[in-house]
A and B are shown apart, each in its own frame.
Chain A
Amino acid sequence: MQLKYKFILPLALLLSAVMLYPLAFSGWLAFHEYRLTRLDDVHFVGFENFVLIATDPSFLNAMGNTLIFVLGAVSLELVIGLSLALLLQKLNILRNFSRSILLAPMFVTPIAVGLMFRFLLNAELGVIPHYLSKIGITVDWFGPDLALFSLILIDVWQWTPFMLLMFLAGLEALPKTPYEAARVDGAGPWLTFSRITLPMLRSVIVVALIIRALDAFKVFEYVFAITRGGPGNSTETIMYYIYQTGFRFFRMGEAAAAAIMLITVILVLVVLLVKFSQAEEARK
């Protein structure tokens, strides 16, 4: 064996054990009837699991909820994160202090964030509904109309700092000369932002969007800690659906099929996003 292959061998083995094998096994699971409580009756079923999942109204609903969640949360995080980054970039007093404070939510474990907001927004006990009611506003945060939106807001609270961090780093790495040139030419703040900052920041934005979107697709903790998918199934997300199918009902084959369908959806979206960004790049 050539030396170069010997060098990558340990890592290749490690990755096969922790990535390749589980992935291949879930692929195998997806084509089998595999219930943890009926292991004596495991058999090949072809695409049956996929058909079952694709025709299950709960799965389609969970997929819809997840897409709304990802779209809502990530776009809000993008806008707020970018705005904060632009403001903070100019802020010179208490620079490190203000940045550490703003980044804090990111370091709390999501399940704790879920539990915290469950009580903060609880209609009976919560401090937020309490003060809102003092000014005459009653909001049922986890009612059927608002529950998914409330989960989006919680995600925004926790993960906007991540966007902020990415954009601050991106902004600080931008060259200064184009800005000086723009000032000489008399460009206002909006023109500078839309014609210089935004295009130069594009690759950072795309990377941040992809990372956040991939993460948001996995939303589980808030749902588990707060709504368990309710009221009705208005906050059931795809990860919660997979958890229920696999770990509460022990239908591992169907859970694996659902997971593979989710991977497919995510791959399509990521490829589209990257293509779009490359096309924009080429158009210039």
Chain B
Amino acid sequence: MAKFSGLGGRLYSGETSFNIVEKRKRWYSISALFILASIAALVIQGLHLGIEFKGGASYTLNKPSVTVEQARAAVANIGIEGEVIVQKIGTTKVRIQTGAVSPAQSQAIETALTSTFGVSAESIDTQLVGPSWGKEITKKALYGLIAFLLAVMLFLAMAFEPKMAIAAIVAVVHDVFITVGIYALVGFDVTPATVIGFLTILGYSLYDTVVVFDKVRENTKSVAANSKMTYSQAANLAVNQTLVRSANTSIIALLPVGSILFVGAGLLGAGTLKDLSLALFIGLAVGTYSSVFIAPPFLAQLREKEPAMQALAKRVSARGGAPVATEMKAVRPSTGSGPRNQPKRKGRK
């Protein structure tokens, strides 16, 4: 731990520095690859939607002795259209999922289960979902998503600057895409709980990005006036300085989510907890990546297009190609603003 903390200090002073912003093409390529794979997975395999979206019925029996075959046999004669999925959940439960059923069929299934296995109707956990329901909640989730993106963009544009808002949203869309892609690829069930997870990721991923951008803004505030570093270099320093913070906040966020996943998948087998935490877990990991490797480089790229920043880059390169900070060995600035520790370039000649 102490060693890692030491790294934090070196990253802060610029002693150790990762060229994250400059190597943006590398990160873009990696992400483009993932996004292409996601699109391919979505087109070819599609998402594995739970009954909440397709309409259907689910019955869960809590009796350890019942086998999948017995359960399947019990409901075989009811004449349910479409595929009937019977699964063992955990060690004690059996779940039967069907497509949309009429109320009479639903009644028949329950009667068959209660009489075959000698359980009371109340002890069967049932879920019936109408065929139009999925459309309704999908519509709502979509509206929610759009409203959220607009609101956040507006808010960040006010709290920071418009280009940061754009970069943050690009990173978030990137996260959602890849997370959904992973779902399509692996074939995890998508339920309303998963959708909650997706929507929450948006908030989370932005949280991380906000932390990084706050530092970027601070470092780049007077960058043009000083002509010591280009915007990209200042942004890169900010990313490095917040790297330990990003790592820590991500670990701390992943710990509880991981616990829910562990308990939800291990103890309950299936359901809200597992679906929610799985989406969060994947999304958080992707979100951490994008807040470091996608959002800041993209922001730098946007800002470097501005004439003022291009002029700055020219001035900086005229000074010898690299920002030189020897004259200004990190003395504590009395005002607290302005450039702080300039990165010491390793191998400077």
Q: Do A and B bind each other?
A: no
